[in-house]
Amino acid sequence: MTVEEGEGDVIRVLLVDDQILMREGLRKLLEIEPDIEIVGSAANGADALRLLSDRPATDHPHVALVDARMPVMDGVELDGRLRAEFPAIASVMLTTFDDDYIFGGLRAGAKGYLLKDTPPDELVAAIQRAARGETVLSGAATERLVAALRESAHVPRPEPEPARHDQEPHLQLPAEAGGCATVPSCLRGRELLRPAGAAGGGRGAARRGRLRPD
């Protein structure tokens, strides 16, 4: 469920944050926007899921603004549950922390990651983009992702372990019989490497006195 650009539909938003001052501040900030409607708020991920379960799908939000760190159920876990149970809702993580929650949230299914000090106009634009199905990242989050990708690109790959002779035996034809550990092993090697049609080579060698027949 996305809002197409130019449709004129109102974007329904759910606020999920354990701090009531943050929830109310976001509500007052966003309610003045003509194309945004706050349809509910929750103090943690578990409360948000209960709220969504009690409502018909037609009343579900287009976008959920989700705090990363909350008691009971944090934002990363909620993002995963939303992706599995309510995939039409675009989850955008909103937090004061620029840390590994970026990666956890995006892996769980979040459509974006914003810092709580994001300017109001950028927050509104991010909600509009998320409602259209786009991925949104704050500048700081983008820099963190780029840095992580660069670090992973420079991680040296481990050298392959040398092949062990007991695991990968190689058959080699020694230059002389004296180079073999045992005469039978030499003979077996020569027998395997003998060209096709040379079945009589052993009898000829025996007649020449090189090999003693059984």
State the Cα–Cα distance between residues 52 and 110, nearest whole angstrom.
17
d(CA 105, CA 113): 8
**Angle at 128 (CA atoms; ends 122, 132), nearest 5 degrees:** 140
Provide the pLDDT for residue 171: 47
The per-residue pLDDT for 52 is: 97
Give me the pLDDT at residue 165, please.
53
- In the block, which residue shows the tokens 């007052």? 28
Task: Go through the domains of the chain in sequence order and give each one's CATH number.
Answer: 11-137 (3.40.50.2300)
pLDDT for the residue 72: 96
Give the model's pLDDT for residue 157.
57
Spatial distance between the Cα atoms of 82 and 143, rounded to a whole number of angstroms: 26
- Please report the pLDDT score of residue 111 as a whole number: 80
Q: Cβ(41)–Cβ(16) under 8 Å?
A: yes
Q: Reduce the DSSP state of residue 80 to 3 states and report it.
A: helix
- Kindly tell me the sign of the dihedral angle through the C-alpha atoms of 156, 159, 160, 161: negative
State the DSSP code for 174.
Answer: -
Encode the chain (214 residues) as per-residue pLDDT tens digits. 566 554 568 999 999 999 999 999 999 999 999 999 999 999 999 999 999 999 999 999 999 999 988 999 998 899 999 999 999 999 998 877 655 666 666 777 678 888 888 899 999 999 999 999 998 987 766 676 666 667 766 656 566 666 555 555 554 545 544 455 544 554 455 554 555 555 444 444 444 444 444 4
144: number of Cβ within 10 Å: 18
- Determine contact, residues 19/75, Cβ cutoff 8 Å: no
Q: Look at residue 177 in the predicted model and tell me its pLDDT.
A: 46
In terms of pTM, does the model score above 0.85? no
